[in-house]
Amino acid sequence: MPVWLREHSWRQTLTAVYLSLPLRGARATPANIFCSEQYLKVSIPPFLFEAILYAPIDDTNSTAKIGNGNIFFTLYKKEPAMWDALTLENADKEKLQYLRENAVLKAHEKAKEETEAKKITKQEHKKYALEATMKLEEAERKRIEDLKEKERQKVAKELELWKNQQKNGDKYKSIQKKGEMHQEIEPLKERKSEKISKTRISNEGPSKTRLKSTKGSHGSCSIFSQNLKEEQLPAPRAAATIKVNFTPRVFPTALRESRVAEEEEWLHKQAEARRIINSDLSELEDLKEEEKNPDWLKDKGNKMFAMGDYLGAVNAYNLAVRLNNKLPLLYLNRAACHLKLRNLHKAVEDSSKALELLTPPVPDNENARVKAHVRRGTAFCQLELYTEGLQDYEAALKIDPKNKNIEKDAEKIRHLIQGTVQSS
Amino acid sequence: MSAAVGAERPQVVSHVQQALSYTVFDCKWVPRSARLLCLGSAARGTGLIQLYELHGARLELLREIEKSKPIKCGTFGATSLQQRYLATGDFDGNLNIWNLEAPEIPVYSVKGHKEIINSIDGVGGLGIGEGAPEIVTGSRDGTVKVWDPRQNDTPVANMEPVQGESKRDCWTVAFGNAYNQEERVVCAGYDNGDIKLFDLKTMSLRWETNIKNGVCSVEFDRKDINMNKLVATSLEGKFHVFDMRTQHPTKGFASVSEKAQKSTIWQVRHLPQNRDVFMTSGGSGSLHLWKDSEGSEMGVAGSVSLLQNVTLSTQPISSLDWSPDKKGLCVCGAFDQTVRVLIVTKLNKI
């Protein structure tokens, strides 16, 4: 139960009410005071003071001063009138309750409004700041542009000035030239005729005379100065040739560092191919043209296998492999031959090589891969390496699960393994 | 980087842009004037020479000359300042020297090579240096030939592959070391990365090296002084700066290399007024301005620092020329059929 504070005292003027509330030793902070339009509460547990005011007050402007063991309220009335009493006397519980709730609600609303107002002002401040920075940046940019413009104009002016100087300089020179020309024309005319007659006599080609005379007709004064200079210039150099060696380069294109790696690779591949073709050239000379074709040899090998000539087939496949060692089918078929010939290790090798060449595993080379696995599996089993063989058969089954033969054989091998395990 | 206007970096200002109706392969300033030449190939397979004059903010076409074969390169390097004859190399291997006042018949003409002349350079003219005026041409047929305009039909020096050797395209040539009447050196770059230095006084190969990428452009910092620096640019965005002052008997010349951009560096040109500054143009349409600092000792190459870079075009900028008369004025021609006049500012402060 709260302890009610009742020793308050108050006085009023037309517009304000002054309320003094002594606190019995309790310390008050602004958080303990709750005030709305018509409701005033001070709650410092366990003390409590509340008052339903006689008339509404302006709670935003009213103040509360905490100090000296009491709180001094200055409440400004909404309507200037003299109050009969501070509080409404005959307030029953319900009314009190209602008023209290109202007050709280009102306080909430006020708080909300205040936050709203704060937000709006904050946004406006931000906007203002942004605009200010933008303006500053614009000003900076403009300044730079102006500087650039000024430079440009200055430079253009200088250029004009210089050009005019040039023109004037040229004018003077041409005037001078004209003056000189008039002076020189007489003796020069004589010189010209001399020159022309000289060239005719010296029997040089017609092109040369034309050249000389064109030279003579233009800029007559320049002949004069040029002759002088020609006497000072050394004679043309004695003709000679210098032989040049270039850093060797295979490609006709220009050398670029970024392409060097690619070019090396290409050259390497070319060299490989050439080597294969050219190796054992002497042996291959007596073979006919068709016999140098790996595909033809493969067909020949297949035929011999079908007829039962396993050694012959192996020979054919060998030659084919020497010519082109990147065809998986050759190894595959050779593995089959070795199986028939009971060269089991060779069969294993060949099937392995075939499998290597048959990467990447795609649906296209499924058949080949199944065959390779089966053949290797068979070879392993005949070597009594049953576990390896089973592995291969299972790989084959994985690729082609529908093949009954493989399944049967795999079962057989499993039994065999289990049999040996049991017995050992 | 080009936004660092406040700092005292040189800025590349694009002054004039001119769209052309043909592919421009080379652009050159006419010495002692505000005029420039564009050389190229028209769509119908003929060669074009256009003479423009700089008028304020635009280029005015003064003259257009059409020739039967497309023109690849040109130089004013071997003519006197009064004559200002243009030497050109064309797609057919012909070397011609034209008087632009009367361009119908060439002043000098020779079918120098069997295939396109990729690059041309001239020395001994324009009042720079001493010695006889000579022109060097490098061609796709693997030979480099030096011509004297006073001697018809035969070159005064011929650098050709040994009999039976397969040829490599010569992509670029440059003169250098022409500090007196006898000395002269020709540097040639080939598509297999070879750089060869031929000495014309002794008529021998003085030095060769291979920079692992096709050589697009070589240039000495000055033609008319003792060999000081050689810049060689190549494919793959690399360029090498060789210190040509001391030659090691086995190792050759010391060098510094930079990788500037991801694409081919088509051209390098030194600023005529300051031999430590040069500009490289790239296959990505960008220009880079570099400054070279001297090595501390003889035989140690210095370092190269980037002063500015700017991207002007989406197509390679294949030709570049500084004006010998106005510091910082340059013209560049790109494969997007435009020629641009640029001004590089603040070069005095370097």
DSSP string, A257-302: GGGHHHHHHHHHHHHHHHHHHHTTHHHHTTS-SGGG-HHHHHHHHH
Helix axes A206-217, A220-232, angle to 10 degrees: 110
Q: For residue A321, give both structure tokens.
A: 């492999």
Q: How far apart are CA B242 and CA B255, in angstroms?
A: 4
Chain A segment 204-233 residues within 8 A of B by beta carbon are 208, 210-211, 214-215, 218-219, 222, 225-226, 229, 233
Length of chain B: 350
Answer whether A246 sits within 8 Å of B150, measured CB to CB.
no
Q: Which of A17, A20, A46 is nearest to A32 (CA)?
A: A46
**Å between B71 CA and nearest CA of chain A:** 22
**Å between B215 CA and nearest CA of chain A:** 9
Instruction: Check pLDDT > 90 for residue B26.
Output: yes
| Total-model pTM | 0.64
A255-266 pLDDT, tens digit per residue, is 998 889 999 999
Angle at A19 between CA A16 and CA A21, to 5 degrees: 165
Instruction: Check pLDDT > 60 for residue A207.
Output: no
In chain A, what residues touch B171 (CB-CB under 8 Å)? Answer: 254
pLDDT of residue A185: 56
Would you call A356 an interface residue with chain B, using a CB distance cutoff of 8 Å? Answer: no
**At residue A315, what are phi and psi to the nearest 5 degrees?**
-55, -50
- Domain ranges, ordered by start, for chain A: 3-89, 91-172, 291-418
Fold of domain A3-89: Immunoglobulin-like (2.60.40)
Could you tell me which residues come within 8 angstroms of residue A402 by beta carbon, excluding any fewer than 6 positions away? none
Name the pLDDT band for A222 (thresholds 50, 70, 90): very low
In chain A, what residues touch B101 (CB-CB under 8 Å)? Answer: 218
Q: Which residues pair with B54 in a beta bridge?
A: B59
- How many other C-beta atoms lie within 10 A of the C-beta of residue A112? 10
**What number of helices (H) and strands (E) belong to chain B?**
0, 28
A60-94 pLDDT, tens digit per residue, is 788 888 877 788 888 888 888 888 877 776 667 77
Instruction: Check pLDDT > 90 for residue B269.
Output: yes
Q: How far apart are CA A18 and CA A39, in angstroms?
A: 15
Distance of CA A321 to the CA centre of its chain: 47
Q: How far apart are CA A248 and CA A323, in angstroms?
A: 31
| B5, B34, B205 ranked by CB distance to A163: nearest | B34
Name the pLDDT band for A200 (thresholds 50, 70, 90): very low
Chain A segment 251-270 residues within 8 A of B by beta carbon are 253-258, 260
Name the pLDDT band for A217 (thresholds 50, 70, 90): very low
Pairing of strands B157-161, A240-244: parallel
**At residue B142, what are phi and psi to the nearest 5 degrees?**
85, 0
Region B76-93: what's the mean pLDDT?
91
Instruction: Check pLDDT > 80 for residue B298.
Output: no
SS3 of B92, please? Answer: coil
Instruction: Check pLDDT > 60 for residue A234.
Output: yes
H or E, element range at A225: helix A220-232
Q: Which of B279, B143, B144, B260 is nearest to B213 (CA)?
A: B260
Q: Which residues pair with A64 in a beta bridge?
A: A73
Contact B35, B349 (CB under 8 A): no
Answer whether A236 sits within 8 Å of B156, measured CB to CB.
yes
Region A350-366: what's the mean pLDDT?
83
Q: Which range, of A34-38, A396-400, B91-95, B345-349, averages the lowest pLDDT?
A: A34-38
SS3 of A36, please? Answer: coil
Distances (CA, A) of B63 to A202, A351, B105: 38, 81, 16
Mean residue pLDDT of chain A comes to 79
Answer whether A241 sits within 8 Å of B191, measured CB to CB.
no
Q: What is the DSSP letter of B326?
A: S
Name the pLDDT band for A283 (thresholds 50, 70, 90): low
Instruction: Check pLDDT > 60 for residue A104.
Output: yes
In chain B, what residues touch A226 (CB-CB under 8 Å)? Answer: 80, 83
- The maximal CA–CA distance of chain B, rounded, in angstroms, is 60
pLDDT of residue A219: 42
Pairing of strands B86-90, B71-75: antiparallel
B33-55 pLDDT, tens digit per residue, is 889 999 999 999 999 999 999 88
Answer whether A215 sits within 8 Å of B107, measured CB to CB.
yes
pLDDT of residue B219: 95
CATH 1.25.40.10 fits A291-418, yes or no: yes
Pick from A237, A253, A259, A260 the residue to mutate for testing the B interface (most B CBs within 10 Å).
Answer: A237
Contact B214, B192 (CB under 8 A): yes
Instruction: Check pLDDT > 70 for residue A388.
Output: yes
Answer whether B159 sits within 8 Å of A242, measured CB to CB.
yes
Q: Which of A22, A18, A30 is nearest to A47 (CA)?
A: A22
B51-66 pLDDT, tens digit per residue, is 999 888 889 999 999 9
Length of chain A: 424
pLDDT of residue A364: 77
B100-110 pLDDT, tens digit per residue, is 889 899 999 99
Q: Which of A19-23, A108-112, A138-142 has the highest mean pLDDT?
A: A138-142
Name the pLDDT band for A194 (thresholds 50, 70, 90): low
pLDDT of residue B173: 95
Q: Which of A366, A365, A369 is nearest to A351 (CA)?
A: A369
pLDDT of residue A83: 81
pLDDT of residue A208: 42
Q: For residue B239, give both structure tokens.
A: 């360029």
Q: How far apart are CA A260 and CA A247, in angstroms?
A: 15
Instruction: Check pLDDT > 70 for residue A209.
Output: no
A123-132 pLDDT, tens digit per residue, is 999 999 999 9
Place of tokens 């130089």: B75
Neighbour-count burial for B140-178, b at 16+ CB within 10 Å, e otherwise: bbbbbbbbbbebeeebbbbbbbeeeeebbbbbbbbbbbb
With pLDDT > 90 as the criterion, what percentage of chain A qualifies? 11
In chain B, what residues touch A160 (CB-CB under 8 Å)? Answer: 56
Chain A segment 142-161 residues within 8 A of B by beta carbon are 144, 147-148, 151-152, 154-156, 159-160
Q: How far apart are CA B266 and CA B264, in angstroms?
A: 6
**Å between A281 CA and nearest CA of chain B:** 29
pLDDT of residue A26: 73
- Structural domains present in chain B: 12-22+77-87+112-320+337-345 (2.130.10.10)
pLDDT of residue A215: 43
Answer whether A237 sits within 8 Å of B132, measured CB to CB.
yes
Name the pLDDT band for B171 (thresholds 50, 70, 90): very high
Instruction: Check pLDDT > 80 for residue B186.
Output: yes
**Å between A165 CA and nearest CA of chain B:** 10
A390-423 pLDDT, tens digit per residue, is 888 888 888 888 888 888 888 888 888 888 777 6
Pick from A155, A161, A207, A246 the residue to mutate for testing the B interface (most B CBs within 10 Å).
Answer: A246
